[in-house]
Amino acid sequence: MGDVSAQPSVPVLLGFLAGQPIGKIHEIRVWCGHCCAWHIHGVEPRAVPGTKALRLAHCFAPRSPYKETGYCIEVAYAAYEDVRRQVRSATTGQQLLLAQGRVTPSIEKMRAQ
């Protein structure tokens, strides 16, 4: 985990712990409104709700500002399994459009979630 306090301009996104740990690593998922997708990261087991960790972005949308800054993941109190269906993810076709920098009205609607 990086020194979060030294990065005041880095955006903070909620991360949701998912499933059971694999060895000593937990999986955490972060909703990216730019890609309209869940990005998956590994996080240490001591990452309890409220813990923050700096991560590089896994964005495929070329205009995502997270590609330059990365983001700070704050571990949420809710689990991924409890929140994953609250947002609609981009389809494979929409992800391809996003990767090309193209945005449709349905993608804009997803970004507004």
pLDDT at 1 over 50: no
Which pLDDT score is estimated for 32? Answer: 93
Q: For residue 36, give the amino acid letter.
A: C
* Nearest to 111, CA basis, from 98, 100, 99: 98
CA-CA distance, 52 to 49, in Å (whole number)? 9
List residues bridging with 32 in a β-sheet: 37
Which pLDDT score is estimated for 24? Answer: 64
Report pTM: 0.79
For 76-98, what is the mean pLDDT? 89
Which pLDDT score is estimated for 21? Answer: 65
pLDDT at 89 over 80: yes
pLDDT at 15 over 50: yes
Lowest mean pLDDT among 32-41, 66-75, 79-88: 79-88
